[in-house]
Chains A and B, each alone.
Chain A
């Protein structure tokens, strides 16, 4: 299978040129094949979210190249990256990033708004996505009326609603109890079986062990990259 994601010697330096530059990524190279299920692990501040942002086209490398589907990100305009974030990549943020002024349903519909999908279909698809994460009876609540775990599931529903080919999830089970976490992991497993490329960041070894590849990060570098055989 071909590489969907290919990073070569990627650096991400925050505040470059300032007094205290932060070397969040220091020469990271990874290749991820289509349909692969990977877990990124590492200590806090090791650069996991930074790496996810770059893979998710939210951010650009300071140095190095990132090829997505064989095309160099550097040559893409901001608007083209916006389209990629909308159609190709689903992102579950570590801080959820839900809009407080809108209901869960409206939040999940948001990517479909920018995808130009008509209102009726938008609603049906958003409801379906919320059902997948077990939130069908909380659709009309605003995020501040939901528990942390429920908010996390809204964020997951929003990430998968536009049927992306790549799902990036930054600590998707961090706020969930073990039962719900296990349900979400089952969902991810199903998505991988359907052909989605899934990358998740986690602290939890149990969660990481569900993936078929574990990438260990420390101080902005890849420490270990272990293949684990088939998807569990």
Chain B
């Protein structure tokens, strides 16, 4: 008996109880489809997170006030006024691995243009901000060093702000009021969308000096505090830059014990790793959920095969009486189980792939179906068929022909 023969015998077995076979196929189908879809969602989330981290800028280093515990989990990151503009200047002057530095101070204000007004984030920073964040003005221009030195009343507005306040027409050259202070719009930022949970298009950029002079005021104790400092390391020197900045700030802030750091220095790699560990857990949970549904499908196969063996005991007896050997009966039932699980698997892959596309389109959630997850699904459904089919098949193959023939 060759494999074609065995396949056809097994296929006849499947056809002889179509409804039951179809329901069993459905069990595996749902399992595999959810594996493909859920892994696709997890993978999509992962790639999206990576993309967002990449979009933060190139060789970016974030310095912000707050504390980091020894295990690397942020405890209290906050707005404690521990970082100053002088820290930013010191980093620029004393850290050789650092290429660019831009300090930032941001706060929400009422912004008014003609009749319309809106609440938005005003981000006071330095002229090299666009290069560090890889985020540029696409109409007009960003402010210059000179405008920073002069504390000029100029602003560059985000795309959302431009649409909300000014609507049609070119915003460049218009004037608007930020907390009652008059500013010239000299540029509009390119559209960037959400990054790290923040709408990058819903903000206004002004020179840091202008911010201190007109909007924020100075801190009594420490002088010009900043919300955070963005630094850009030289290529491939992010660890060195992180090290130099950390040491410099400890020195400037008189900190001996690293556990008492009142600032955090995080490279893009750190941020990426955090994002990956979060999405990793997410993927794992989704995968486990899908795995359970596959297990249920597998048990379904075993259940049906056991019922089938019991029901077809007489058939097995007849086959044995007519000369079927142990392994031929074993193969018949194992192949039957594998055919069922593989049919379910392949249909499940089709459903899973289209389900992923559907979710991408409807929920606008990125899903990524990797070839790995398809190959894995094929292997898993094969394995399920073998694993859950072998026990019932063994039971069938070991039946005594005389006993089997007498069963009804």
Contacts and interface: CB of A to CB of B under 8 A. Distances in A.
Interface in B295-329: 314-315, 317-328
B363 interface: no
Contacts of B405: 58, 93, 95, 97
Interface in B309-357: 314-315, 317-328
B321 A114 contact: no
Contacts of B5: 113
Interface in A71-104: 78-79, 82-83, 85-87, 91, 93, 95, 97-99, 101-102
Interface in A111-169: 111, 113-116, 158
Contacts of B402: 53, 58-59
Interface size class, chain B: 20 to 34
B401 interface: yes
A78 B322 contact: no
Given A99-B315, A116-B1, A58 B321 contact: yes
B12 A85 contact: no
Q: For B1, B322, B325, B326, which residue has the most chain A Cβ atoms within 10 angstroms?
A: B322
B257 interface: no
Contacts of A99: 315, 318
A93 B5 CA distance: 26
A73 B333 CA distance: 28
The dominant DSSP class at the B interface is: helix
A91 B325 CA distance: 17
Contacts of A86: 322-323
Q: For A58, A82, A85, which residue has the most chain B Cβ atoms within 10 angstroms?
A: A82
B158 to A, nearest CB: 72
A110 interface: yes
Given A59-B402, A82-B320, A93-B405, A114 B326 contact: no
Contacts of B254: none
B323 A91 contact: no
Contacts of A115: 323
A97 B321 contact: yes
A79 B317 contact: no
Q: For B323, B327, B328, which residue has the most chain A Cβ atoms within 10 angstroms?
A: B323
B318 A85 contact: no
Given A58-B401, A58-B402, A91-B321, A114 B314 contact: no
A85 B323 contact: yes
Given A114-B1, A114-B328, A87 B401 contact: no
Q: For B314, B315, B321, which residue has the most chain A Cβ atoms within 10 angstroms?
A: B321
B331 to A, nearest CB: 12
Contact of B322 (A59, A95, A111): A111
Contacts of A98: 318
B308 to A, nearest CB: 12
Contacts of B12: 101-102
B376 to A, nearest CB: 36
Contacts of B16: 101
Contacts of B323: 82-83, 85-87, 111, 114-115
A101 B322 CA distance: 16
B325 A79 contact: yes
Nearest to B320: A82
Given A82-B320, A91-B321, A113-B1, A97 B314 contact: yes
A158 to B, nearest CB: 7
A82 B12 CA distance: 22
Contacts of B327: 79
Interface in B1-19: 1, 5, 9, 12, 16
A30 B207 CA distance: 115
30 contacts: A53-B402, A59-B401, A59-B402, A79-B326, A79-B327, A82-B320, A82-B323, A82-B324, A82-B325, A83-B323, A85-B321, A86-B323, A93-B405, A95-B405, A97-B314, A97-B317, A99-B318, A101-B16, A101-B315, A110-B318, A110-B319, A110-B322, A111-B323, A114-B319, A114-B322, A114-B323, A114-B324, A114-B325, A115-B323, A158-B322
Interface of B: 1, 5, 9, 12, 16, 314-315, 317-328, 401-402, 405
Given A53-B402, A58-B401, A97-B318, 6 more contacts: A78-B326, A85-B321, A86-B323, A102-B12, A114-B322, A158-B322
Identify the 9 closest CB pairs spanning chains A and B, nearest first. Answer: A86-B323, A114-B323, A111-B322, A101-B16, A79-B325, A59-B402, A82-B325, A97-B318, A85-B323
